[in-house]
Amino acid sequence: MKIYYKLVAILLLFFLISLTFDFPVTGDLTSPANLNVSPYYLENSVKQTHIPNVVTTVLADYRGFDTLFETSVILTAGIALILILFKSKRQKYSFSNLPRTTKGTDLVCQNSCKLAMPLMQLFALYVIAHGHYSPGGGFQGGVILAASFIFYAISFGVPNALNRFFKNKRQMLAYLGVLIYAGVGALCVILKKKFLEYVALKDILRVSDEMAHSYGVLFVEIGVALTISIIMFACYVFLATGNSFDDENL
């Protein structure tokens, strides 16, 4: 039976590769995207949103719905992975039986972590907050933030990392990220505008229409970063410890 699965996978791979020949050449000025969508974004991003980084504008403003569901997909994928790995028997797991690689490492690694981790987290916050004006945003900042948690878990052990960063109901933080994103959109509706129409926030924030877009994008980027960082760290914990956890640990 496995041979049929492999055959289907190979045929699907060749089919997908064949579709790439219909793509426009990279940088083709006559492609539909370069003729219609891209010029509009480039010409109006700063004027309409006060955000020089057009990529951030596209992801969190012009295509805000798309990014919201991308974040939801990542959350769902993380939950699915945890459910698949989670042992069916809800038994208490002794941290003393964890694999050696999850109990912490030598003194050099631990001291290196103490020096590097604050810088990693500071840079992560910078990437999240400064994604409007330079390369960055919620996805990139969330990954860097998760990397700092993982670095600490490698250096000092998973139990210490869990107790230090996510004491209670850690999984709720991942849900909170999506709720922040969706909550901003819902607030816009409450204020009698369309979902994720950030201009609705101008009266609350007492700013111009353009700055309302800028602040709205910042709020949703924070939500994205929160979900990404928690899901990545949770996946590492399950994979590193042999997926044996009870509800109190994760």
In angstroms, the CA 119 to CA 148 distance is 9
Least confident of 50-54, 90-94, 122-126, 162-166: 90-94
Least confident of 29-38, 89-98, 145-154: 89-98
- The mean pLDDT of 60-69, rounded to a whole number, is 89
In angstroms, the CA 177 to CA 42 distance is 29
Q: What b-and-e string marks burial along 85-104, b requiring 16 or more CB atoms within 10 Å of the CB?
A: bbeeeeeebeeeebeeebeb
Residue 171 pLDDT greater than 80, yes or no:
no
Residue 250 pLDDT greater than 50, yes or no:
no
pLDDT of residue 39: 87
Q: What is the pLDDT of residues 88-132, one digit of tens each?
A: 444 444 444 444 445 556 788 888 999 999 999 999 999 998 888
- The mean pLDDT of 138-161, rounded to a whole number, is 90
pLDDT band at 168 (very low <50, low <70, confident <90, very high): low
pLDDT band at 4 (very low <50, low <70, confident <90, very high): confident
- The mean pLDDT of 123-149, rounded to a whole number, is 90
pLDDT band at 224 (very low <50, low <70, confident <90, very high): very high
pLDDT of residue 87: 56
pLDDT > 70: what percent of the chain? 85
Long-range contacts at 233-237 (CB < 8 A, ≥ 24 apart): 233/146, 233/149, 233/150, 233/153, 233/165, 233/166, 234/78, 234/82, 234/170, 234/171, 234/174, 235/78, 235/81, 235/82, 236/146, 236/149, 236/150, 236/153, 237/153, 237/158, 237/161, 237/162
Q: What is the pLDDT of residues 75-89, one digit of tens each?
A: 898 888 777 776 544
pLDDT of residue 228: 92
Average pLDDT, the chain: 83
pLDDT of residue 1: 65
pLDDT band at 172 (very low <50, low <70, confident <90, very high): confident
